[in-house]
Amino acid sequence: MTKNQVLKQYIEHKKLRVKSEAKIKDIERDIDRFLKSSSKPLEDFTADELVSYLNSLGFKKRTMNGIKAYLKNFIKWKFEDYSTRFRNLDDICKSEKIEENDRAYEPEEMITKEEIKKLVDGETDLLYKNYWLILFYGGCRPSTTLALEWDKNIKFKEDEVIIKVKENKNKKTFYKSLPKIAEQYLIDWRKKNDSKWLFPSSKSDGHLHIKSAYGKLRRLSIKVLGKQVTLYCLRHSIATILYNSDDKEDGDVANQLSHTKNMKETYLNLDEDKKIANARKMYLKAPKLSKEKQTEFENKIKELQQQQSKQKETFHNELHKIFNKMGDYEKRMDAITKRRVNINEKRKIKEKGLLNQIKELQEQKEKDKITK
């Protein structure tokens, strides 16, 4: 029995108890990856293959715990001698305790737009350049990205490229856009790639295997960035960047990431300063307005600004008139003051003349007395 036949049989077995289609898909995906992780026949699998596969994943605790549970269940179902073939199975697949503050990725583990540029610049293969860019800017899931087809999923418009994605996880179709730099790489790759797949395998007619991409990115990121980056970290990084952007609507970000709005908290990695800043805005941030309301307020602002300008002009004119009147008043006051000064001076001269006359009369009177 081939590995695919075993997988199909196991999935039918799981459907007896698992009714969630999404969970069945998760189980099928994780078991399939495990089966394809080694070229050995399934009958030759031992604990060595299991440990090697788990060590190659690099997921966080929460994800790893789920994978371990799926694999443990499958091994017990498939191998009657699992207790001797997979020694210490319980220990190997033991779940790690999830702390309250555990996150899928820590902020320092994720990458920035500058770092994705370094990865692309450091990559020599045009296939992988496009894979990194679509994972990051498209916010796509790694397995979904590998399965993209030119005719089915890529729409070349006059001035843009649109990616149409149907997610197996939620059965919904999403349309994604890319920045210009990523679009140009994709256009260049289309000219060189005759396969129906965006990311064809060099070993078969199918698409690239996810294990090859994991190893490629791990080696490249350590070399270029000095830290290990996983495929899913690219998606998580752009999700955090977009959800932290004040000019992006949650619904638009959710569409770009192919999930619903209630996933926002999963991807919202905020440092303490950002959380404090958001808390301060709680009672200060204005509510978001519709485009119609924004236009209405903008027109009202323009109208008020025009009124303010007219009022300023009127005020300045009135003020100018007042200053002119004040100037005329000051001139009149100067004239009156000068007139008063002249009158006082004339009065003083007249008084001085009278005093001289009185003095002369007194002196004449004294002379007359002496003569008599």
Domains of the chain by range and CATH? 3-92 (1.10.150), 107-280 (1.10.443.10)
- Angle, vertex CA 153, rays to CA 150 and CA 154, nearest 5: 60
DSSP H or E run through 162: strand 161-166
Report, in angstroms and rounded to the nearest whole number, the Rg of the chain calculated over CA atoms.
Answer: 44
* Helix, strand and coil in the chain, % to nearest 5: 65, 5, 30
Q: Which residues, in sequence order, are CB contacts of 273 under 8 Å at separation 6+? A: none
pLDDT of residue 30: 92
pLDDT of residue 169: 67
Buried b (16+ CB within 10 A) or exposed e, 89-117: beebbeeeeeeeeebbbeeebbbeeebbe
Q: Is 252 helix (H, G, I), strand (E, B) or coil?
A: helix
CA 118 to CA 246: how far, in whole Å?
A: 26
Which residue reads 């060189």 in tokens?
192
In which order are the strands placed within the sheet that holds 154-156? 154-156, 161-166, 173-177
Question: Measuring CA to CA, how many Å separate 226 from each of 57, 219, 241, 280, 292?
Answer: 19, 10, 21, 36, 49
Residues 35/6, Cβ–Cβ less than 8 Å: yes
Q: How many CA atoms lie within 13 A of 65 on its CB side?
A: 8
Buried b (16+ CB within 10 A) or exposed e, 208-242: bbbeebbebbbebbeebeeeebbbbbbbbbbbbbb
Helix axes 21-36, 210-225, angle to 10 degrees: 80
CA 247 to CA 241: how far, in whole Å?
A: 11
Closest CA to 72 of 48, 89, 55: 89
pLDDT, tens digit only, all 372 positions of the chain? 899 999 999 999 999 998 888 789 889 999 999 999 999 999 999 999 999 999 988 777 888 999 999 999 999 999 999 999 998 999 999 998 876 555 556 667 789 999 999 999 999 999 999 999 999 998 888 888 999 999 999 988 877 888 888 876 667 788 888 888 899 999 999 999 999 999 999 888 999 988 889 899 999 999 999 999 988 889 888 888 887 777 777 777 777 777 665 555 555 554 555 545 544 444 444 556 788 888 888 889 989 989 988 888 888 888 778 777 777 767 777 777 777 777 878 788 888 878 888 888 887 877 777 775
Question: Measuring CA to CA, how many Å separate 48 from each of 76, 260, 271?
Answer: 16, 39, 40
- Provide the whole-model pTM: 0.53
Closest CA to 176 of 148, 201, 196: 148
DSSP H or E run through 237: helix 231-243
Q: Which residues, in sequence order, are CB contacts of 348 under 8 Å at separation 6+? A: none
pLDDT of residue 261: 57
* Token pair recorded at residue 287: 């509510």
